[in-house]
Amino acid sequence: MSKKLYVGNLSYGVDDHMLNDCFAQHGQVTQAQVVMDRETGRSKGFGFVEYSTQEEAQAAIDALDGHELDGRAMRVDEARPREDRPRRGGGGGGGYGGGGGGRW
């Protein structure tokens, strides 16, 4: 069963390849991805690494949490499921509140 890790506090210079190389020392990495901003194309400073087993993932957490990569100490932990967040910009409301009912 695969296990996904969250990797935070990444330097903006870290790319998928660097992340993969760092974590591959601790097991079989099935995927390594730095999250990029859609508009700017720049790293958001965090990413995810997936291992094929729980044991490899735990070994990576133990070895790399606080380890420095490209000048910054990484934060490595188990990834949590993504939470559904409300979308921006939509939603009703707005307009004028009701009320009064009086005539001129």
pLDDT digits (tens, 9 = 90+) for 53-84: 999 999 999 999 999 999 999 999 999 988 87
Cβ–Cβ < 8 Å for 77, 61? yes
pLDDT at 91: 55
Cβ–Cβ < 8 Å for 16, 33? yes
Q: Model-level pTM greater than 0.85? A: no
Mean pLDDT to the nearest integer, 27-43? 96
Residue 100 has pLDDT above 80, yes or no: no
| Architecture label for domain 3-77 | 2-Layer Sandwich (3.30)
Residue 21 has pLDDT above 80, yes or no: yes
pLDDT at 49: 98
DSSP H or E stretch at residue 8: strand 3-8
Residues in the chain, overall count: 104
Residue 6 has pLDDT above 70, yes or no: yes
